Every structure is written in structure tokens, then in C-alpha cells.
Amino acid sequence: MSDLDRFFATCLFEIDNCSDLSSIDAVRMAIFGKNGKITEIMKSLKNMTPREKREFGEKINNIKEKVRARLQEKTRTLELDDMEKKLSSEFVDVFMPARPYSPGLVHPLSKTEEEISGVLASYGFRFADGPEIESEYMNFTALNMPDHHPARTMHDTFYMKIPADKDGCKLLRTHTSPVQVRAMLQHKPPLRFFSIGRVFRNDYDATHTPMFSQIEGLMVDIDVGFAHLKWFMSDILKQFFAIPNLALRFRTSFFPFTEPSVEVDINYEIKNGKVVFGTGDKWMEIGGAGVVHPTVLEHGNVDAAKYQGIAFGFGLERLATLKYGVPDLRGYFESDDRWRKSFGFSFFA
């Protein structure tokens, strides 16, 4: 047996002995690789006569071809084996129930926000915004609460540790009313704006949270007055609650930025342990309102001799709670999945 015959036999033996794809790769490298057997064999060519070279070359080419074919064949068999093994071990059960997942729900506050915005937009009110970190000037002074005004202490204010500037110190706004002034400074009357946003007061129990949301409305025009305010409050609340005969009660009150000022109540009664609105003679407070104080108009660059304004502010959580029967205010902010599931709304509702 010549060396070449022996080499050929060894190749076939090693190929046949491979039992997986990685060992066949190793054998392929050992034969055809850069430092493999063939390269080594080719080196012996240089000491041969041209005739020997031709004979040897022919033989080695023949062997290469056969070995390659065998390698290919074996690789294919091993690949099929491999696939077979995977198919039988990696069983996919298409009937297995899917992992449970929790689809998103619309938070009752978002739902309420959307609904009340829709009602206000239908009256031509446009959205206005203001910062949650507000200046002392905008939150108080511009709203007719100068320094040391007793009404400032009614709001349990969170003051920021940020250096004061010409607008006083910075604080977390205690109501959305500063947006009234911002809207007036940005737009010329007549105007109709509303705002919805978070406000902050240092308070915490079942009916108070340090953060809550308000909805604020402002209308400034030549001859709007208290009568418009009454009609308007009544109409938007009837629409929002979808109760045509909802009754409203206006109680005189005090806000430094409105004169006269009222607190607005809606009627209800308890039927079979449930609160029912629009009937009965019990009253529930829903927010504050009034005719904008001339000083506030002037801080908003509005000529108070020519224009008048009406404004209102409601608690958004209060509206949501009354409409959808959410029991405890704190639930709104605790991100408890069980709460979300009981009070959330489908996106498609």
C-alpha cells in the first residue's frame, strides 16, 4: 500500500467515525485546513521529476475529490440526525395555554379628563397649561393674595428650596388658578380657556392626598357675569354626568380671586345604599367658582373697565369619584393592579 493509499484509507476511516457535526468539522480542518494533511503532502511535490509530479498530482486530486464527496455525504447524514434529534426532544405543544398577560386599562382620571375636556371643547374652550413648579407671584400675588394675605395659609403649600427671583420663591402650585393669569397674559380677550393638571397640598387622609388634580375654566368677555356662570356650571355638569335634571346649589363663599364667589353643590340621595345624583335633597360639593376679581384681570393685562371674567375650579378626582363610584381617594395614586382592574376602562369602550 502506498503512502497515498494509506492516507486515503485513514481519511475515510476518520470521516466514518465522526458522530456529530463538530467532530466532522475538526476532521475537515485536519485534512483540508491550511496546516492540514493535504498541504503537507503537497510539499513533497517539489522534490519530484515532472513525470512523477504528473502521476502524483493526478492521484492526489482523485483522492481529494473522493474525500470531499465522503465528507459532504457524512455531513448531510449528521445534519439530518441532528434535526431528527431536535425534533423529537424539542417538542412544541401548540395547545399549551399562553402565559397570562395584563392588558392596559384607561385610568378613571384619564377617562374623566377626556370626558370633561370634550364637554368644555364643545363650548369653544381651548386647553391652556402652566407649570407644576410655580412662582409665588403666579400662585398667590397675581390672584389677589398679596404677601401675608391670610388666604395663603389656607393652602398648605410645599415651598421649594430654589432661590427666589423677582416673582418670589418657587412652590408646588396649590391650585390650577395661576393658569388663568398665564392664559390672559398670552391671549387677548375675549377668551375661553380650560386647564387640567396636578396640584399639591400638604394634606393626607381618606379624602385628601398631597397631590390631586384640578380642572380650571376661564371665560373673559365684554358682558359675562354671574348669571352666565350659573347657567354654564349647570349645563356642563349635566352633560358630564349625563343627568338632564341634575340640580345645582350655589353657596356664597370666599376666594380672593373671585367676587362674588360661590361653592357649587349637586343634589343626590341614597337609594338602597347607593348614591344617586339628580334626585333628592342632599347636597355634595363639587368645586368653587365666581366672577373674576378686577385685580386679577389687571394682573393678566386685561382692561377691567371693559371686560369681565367668570372662572371655576373643580377637583378632577372628585368628579371621577362621583361619576364612577370610586371609594377612597388614595386609590387613584397607589398603582395597585387590583384597583386598576376594578375601576379602569377598556380602551375600546
* Positions in the binding site for ligand PHE (CB under 6 A): 175, 177, 216, 255, 258, 288-290, 311-313
Please tell me the total number of residues recorded for the chain in this structure.
349
Smallest gap from Cβ 309 to ligand PHE, in A, equals 10
Q: List, in order, residues 6 or more apart from 236 with CB less than 8 Å away.
A: 116, 119, 120, 123
Smallest gap from Cβ 216 to ligand PHE, in A, equals 6
Shorter beta-carbon distance to ligand PHE: residue 28 or 175: 175
Kindly state the DSSP code that residue 98 receives in the 8-state scheme.
Answer: P
Q: Exposed, middle or buried, 34 (CB in 10 Å: 0-12/13-18/19+)?
A: exposed
The β-bridge relationship of strands 274-277 and 170-172 is unpaired
Q: Exposed, middle or buried, 4 (CB in 10 Å: 0-12/13-18/19+)?
A: middle
Shorter beta-carbon distance to ligand PHE: residue 177 or 209: 177
Smallest gap from Cβ 151 to ligand PHE, in A, equals 10
Shorter beta-carbon distance to ligand PHE: residue 60 or 144: 144
Separation CA 25–CA 313 (nearest Å):
78
Contacts by residues 57-62 (CB-CB < 8 Å, ≥ 24 positions apart): 59/4, 60/4
Shorter beta-carbon distance to ligand PHE: residue 290 or 300: 290
| Contact in structure between 320 and 111 (CB atoms under 8 Å) | yes
Shorter beta-carbon distance to ligand PHE: residue 240 or 255: 255
Smallest gap from Cβ 311 to ligand PHE, in A, equals 4
Shorter beta-carbon distance to ligand PHE: residue 108 or 290: 290
Shorter beta-carbon distance to ligand PHE: residue 175 or 238: 175
The β-bridge relationship of strands 126-127 and 191-200 is parallel
Smallest gap from Cβ 100 to ligand PHE, in A, equals 43
Q: Name the residue among 41, 75, 78, 76 with its Cα closest to residue 60.
A: 41
Shorter beta-carbon distance to ligand PHE: residue 189 or 290: 290
| Contact in structure between 193 and 181 (CB atoms under 8 Å) | no
Within a 13 Å sphere around the CA of 86, how many CA atoms are in the beta-carbon half?
6
Shorter beta-carbon distance to ligand PHE: residue 105 or 264: 264
Smallest gap from Cβ 209 to ligand PHE, in A, equals 14
Separation CA 267–CA 277 (nearest Å):
6
Smallest gap from Cβ 262 to ligand PHE, in A, equals 8
Separation CA 193–CA 216 (nearest Å):
8
Smallest gap from Cβ 137 to ligand PHE, in A, equals 16
Smallest gap from Cβ 299 to ligand PHE, in A, equals 15
Separation CA 178–CA 196 (nearest Å):
12
The residue sitting closest to ligand PHE, measured at its beta carbon, is: 313
Q: What share of the chain is helix, strand, coil (3-state, %, to 5)?
A: 45, 25, 30
